[in-house]
Structure 1
Amino acid sequence: MKPTVAPFPSSRLRRTRQSSAIRALVRSNSLSVDDLIWPVFVRDGKDTEEPVPSMPGVMRRSVDLIAKAAREAADLGIPAICLFPYTDTSLKTEDCAEAWNPDNLCNRAIRAIKDAAPEIAVMTDVALDPYNINGHDGYVVDGEIVNDATVEALVKMALTQAESGADIIGPSDMMDGRIGAIRKALEQDGHHNVMILSYAAKYASSFYGPFRDAVGASGALSGDKNTYQMDPGNSDEAMRLIERDLAEGADMVMVKPGMPYLDICRRAKETFGVPTFAYQVSGEYAMLQAAAQNGWLDGEKVMLESLLGFKRAGCDGILTYFAPEAARLLAA
């Protein structure tokens, strides 16, 4: 689109910026609480929470406190919450069997949230890294992260989450063919309404460090994830991955990380026109928090500006650790 602009002074583009009322009338994008998904970390225990040192303000919570937090989120109008488990080292194995244990942390938390706040949508993570003694998203065989055996495990994991009451399954593993396999299994087991929000374009990023601290995967990880997560230099590949996941049955797609990949968000939305999400990942959150705590940035303003940037790039929603704080500010 090429706008038609009269010559100055017939055209004074500052006219539409002269007051908050006028700016609101002509604003192209806006942020609301409806755009937020809150990622939370669940740990074992009761009435227990502990801070994640590399993510100021973020806590690991026991199941009972996760349910309480979900109730508070629902009262703020946040539409969805996403669960990530901090699994005890004793439960991490090479076969990752804890991933599909019906009574693992994640599945217990799903049920607790559904009891405490049935109106909030529960999203889950599907990847083996929280349960893998090797710290990888897939099985490691002779130093290789193998694809097809991993997909079989992910299907079992997704089914137990659906049976526990999850509304949205979020495969974040980046194995080939996992969306089709999970969708087929969900249909066969009668979970026709369980949605898949695919981490379709997940990059092998250095911005994930604090998250790995939060789920206890940092020390376990051997090597890197470059053979299955995307090369940060690639853009067209992201479009192929998104197209494939949609063809296999994904309802929604995600770009991860967020702010360094806003160009991918824009391309995804313009190319496919499907519900598109971004994950403002732990490193992005930690940077903004650190700068705010040092007085280098206005924390509240930068937080809201960063979230609005996702909407301007075409995102329908954002996974962000800022969700409760943003919701309170948006309601003020």
Structure 2
Amino acid sequence: MSFPEHRPRRLRRTPAVRRLARETHLVPSQLVLPMFVREGITEPSPIGSMPGIVQHSMDSLRRAVAEAAEQRIGGVMLFGVPEVRDAVGSGADDPNGILNRATEAVVAEVGDAVVVQTDLCLDEFTDHGHCGVLRADGAVDNDATLERYTAMGLAQARAGSAMLGLSGMMDGQVGAVREALDAEGFTDTLVLAYSAKYAGAFYGPFREAVDSQLKGDRRSYQLDPGNGREGVREALLDVEEGADIVMVKPALPYLDVLADVKASVDVPVWAYQVSGEYAMVEAAAAHGWIDRRGAIMESLLGIRRAGADAILTYWALEAARWLREEL
């Protein structure tokens, strides 16, 4: 009887050895919590397709970001849900608009304890639900949209946002916003480019969360799910235009793109574990089909292993608590 020459199982023999031999690590500071704040409500409003996630009132938002700071997660990404929308998303750059007021409140609550980030896109603020200004034929006008993005970016910077999350997928958006920020003296404001944002089927619950008015789809500006090299190209262009960080979104269906982007750029690479990814795990766990905690942590580790330096995830607070329990 012959015996194995190599015994890699020795590195898996006990929990202590497995911890010591682990190649990929996750810590709370690598997690960013997306948060929704809705204008005109006084109590948090549950989101049906995202169990455990709510649209916040201003008061509940303050309490939630204080908890985020206590858990020492890396940041919060704010999304605003306005009462009134119009064709050009006027509420996006209104200093009294819900997102800008919420940003001021969050910065006042937690200061620099977490990195306060804001979504820079028009879709929550337009009555047609698209990420930009529409032409007469209904197509998104790229360059007219850039003008709106620069106004929105300046409003968010004035409100105190430390990082602007450019998620609209317009050509030239990073360069336009970076130039506007620098011209107004906001040279320290970070730009997070949603570089490889794919037009897919995993955003449904998010659209409920922001009460999206979208009719049709966004395939003319978000990436085709079959294209991997294009995601790398977009990331390289965004870095050239001045992006401080680039993002791949969604996360789990595009781990190959994430790994390729990580190998191609010299700035931090993030990933967004989107609403559909969250909803699938929550639904399966509610039926008893999977181990909820195990699936959450395995999915986060998988995204980190593929190359993400940080992850936007709706489980940020819960995962941070678990991680701190393990210390």
Partner secondary structure for residue 285 of structure 1:
helix
User: Which moved further from structure 2: 26-35 or 42-51?
Assistant: 42-51
Q: CA deviation digits over 1:187-209, x for unaligned, max 9?
A: 01111111011000000011001
| Match for residue 189 of structure 2 among 185, 194, 208 | 194
**How many angstroms apart in 1 are the aligned matches of 2:79 and 2:107?**
16
**1:122 counterpart letter in structure 2:** V
| Match for residue 26 of structure 2 among 25, 31, 47 | 31
**How many angstroms apart in 1 are the aligned matches of 2:39 and 2:192?**
26
Once the two structures are superposed, the pairs formed by residues 1-332 of structure 1 within 5 Å of their partners are 9-45=4-40, 47-88=42-83, 91-118=84-111, 119-141=113-135, 142-217=137-212, 220-332=213-325
Partner secondary structure for residue 329 of structure 1:
helix
Q: CA deviation digits over 1:160-188, x for unaligned, max 9?
A: 00000000100100000010000001101
- Is the Cα–Cα contact under 8 Å of residues 140 and 146 in structure 1 kept in the other structure? yes
**How many angstroms apart in 2 are the aligned matches of 1:32 and 1:63?**
28
**How many angstroms apart in 2 are the aligned matches of 1:176 and 1:13?**
49
**2:49 counterpart letter in structure 1:** S
- Is the Cα–Cα contact under 8 Å of residues 239 and 265 in structure 2 kept in the other structure? no
Shift of 1:8: 5.8
**2:139 counterpart letter in structure 1:** E
Partner secondary structure for residue 156 of structure 1:
helix
- Is the Cα–Cα contact under 8 Å of residues 87 and 216 in structure 1 kept in the other structure? no
**How many angstroms apart in 1 are the aligned matches of 2:39 and 2:167?**
23
* Seq. identity, %: 45
- Is the Cα–Cα contact under 8 Å of residues 134 and 222 in structure 1 kept in the other structure? yes
Partner secondary structure for residue 132 of structure 1:
coil
Partner secondary structure for residue 170 of structure 2:
coil
**How many angstroms apart in 2 are the aligned matches of 1:299 and 1:273?**
35
Structure 2 stretches lacking a partner, 5+ long: none
- Is the Cα–Cα contact under 8 Å of residues 63 and 105 in structure 1 kept in the other structure? no
Partner secondary structure for residue 122 of structure 1:
strand
Shift of 1:46: 5.7
Root mean square deviation of aligned Cα: 1.1
- Is the Cα–Cα contact under 8 Å of residues 35 and 317 in structure 1 kept in the other structure? yes
**How many angstroms apart in 2 are the aligned matches of 1:27 and 1:274?**
25
TM (norm. structure 1) is 0.95
**How many angstroms apart in 1 are the aligned matches of 2:39 and 2:125?**
14
**How many angstroms apart in 2 are the aligned matches of 1:195 and 1:272?**
17
TM (norm. structure 2) is 0.96
**1:49 counterpart letter in structure 2:** P
Partner secondary structure for residue 206 of structure 1:
coil
**How many angstroms apart in 1 are the aligned matches of 2:42 and 2:217?**
35
Partner secondary structure for residue 226 of structure 1:
coil
- Is the Cα–Cα contact under 8 Å of residues 54 and 286 in structure 1 kept in the other structure? yes
**How many angstroms apart in 2 are the aligned matches of 1:265 and 1:305?**
17
